[in-house]
Amino acid sequence: MQAVGLITEYNPLHNGHLYHLQQAKAVTGADCSVVVMSGNWLQRGEPAILDKWTRTQLALAAGVDLVIELPVFYATQPAHLFARGGVELLTALGCQSLVFGAEHPGLDFEQLLTALPKTQAAFKHYNATYATQFNTALQATTGMTLTKANDMLGFCYYLANEQFGRRLQLVPIQRQKADHSESQIVATSQFASGTAIRAAATQQAWSQIKPVVPAATLDQLRTQRLQTWADFWPYLHYQLLTGAIEQTHQYDQMAEGLEYRFKEMAQSATSFTDFMARVKSKRYTYTRLQRVATAALLQLTSAEVQTAQAHNYVRVLGFNPTGQAYLHQIKKQLELPLYTKINKDLRRHGLALDYRAGRIYGLINGQSQDLYRRPIQFLG
């Protein structure tokens, strides 16, 4: 049985994701689709609008065969680390290929690898994002830059695949929506960005959403509690007001005195949006600041995140009969630990960070996210 891999967030699953999945199977001829999906906290430093179990159910209903969780210590990282975590899991799971959406799939991503400095020590400018640093090197060597988010993420997949021995065939396909940041749903289109769909969902604009998502997604958006940063702001606010600077300094991706700025601006901020506006400067993007805020909320320190990244694992969220058969086929060759549930021992040790992240998410969601939860078995 041959497997194709996809790295996703499904926040929420929409028609563009359906197209991605259908194309992945069509262009590779794979028997099984394996999706590595972020859990309840996402790469842009925000909570998922629907919890990971609901999004797993939607993925399986859409035709995904096997859903694996991307652990929080990779899911909330910059593009190069997000990609590394996902590629490591797909490689360990024996996938033959990784299909990803790009704004410019015709780019020679392999050639772009030559623009990367020979040593990662060259990327030590903490006041610039990885994308900025890479594009500076790319501009100097080729005269090009990667200005679109998915093109940059695509390059990071190639970089990660190189690091893990080029065991995946990488297949870029044309994205059906040009930009994640587009905030409006176009009435005449069957595709919309996740940003636009989430904005419409918070306004309960169901008639706008209906043409651009599967019926099951619309139903979940209408009936589930939708999580946003505003829900978690009181908890973050309390931590920033009461925590010592020495503690705040240890949070993941906190650098160059940013902990002082966080604490100072928390004194007068009235909401998460207001806090972000006060903290924002030319030095840091909103996405970078949201990731730091996520680390602070979840109390993820740099030390424990780096330790966890060296001990990745396969956490199964759901499967259909094809996915179950594929797991049975490859489990003896798995190079990483395989987990199907979190017991009391794992929550204290191996899966402690994901358990912590789930507990915080559950404060708003109201449902246990990890302890004794078993994978969803989808029978169609």
Bind-site residues for ATP: 7-20, 101, 150, 175
Phi/psi region, residue 45 (left: phi>0; alpha: psi -120 to 50; beta: rest), is: left
Q: Can you say whether the dihedral through the CA atoms of 38, 63, 376, 58 is positive or negative?
A: positive
Helices vs strands, H then E, count in the chain: 19, 8
* Residues written for the chain: 380
Q: Is 169 left (phi over 0), alpha (psi -120 to 50) or beta?
A: beta
Give residues with Cβ within 8 angstroms of 221, minimum separation 6.
Answer: 12, 49, 50, 201, 206, 209, 213
Enumerate the known binding-site residues: 7-20, 101, 150, 175
Whether 103 contacts 178, CB under 8 Å: yes
Q: How does DSSP assign 183-199, residue by residue?
A: -S--TT-S---HHHHHH
Give the span between the Cα atoms of 177 and 186, in whole angstroms: 11
Q: Among 67, 92, 78, which Cα is nearest to 44's?
A: 78
CA distance 104 to 101: 9
Structure tokens at 244: 């010592």
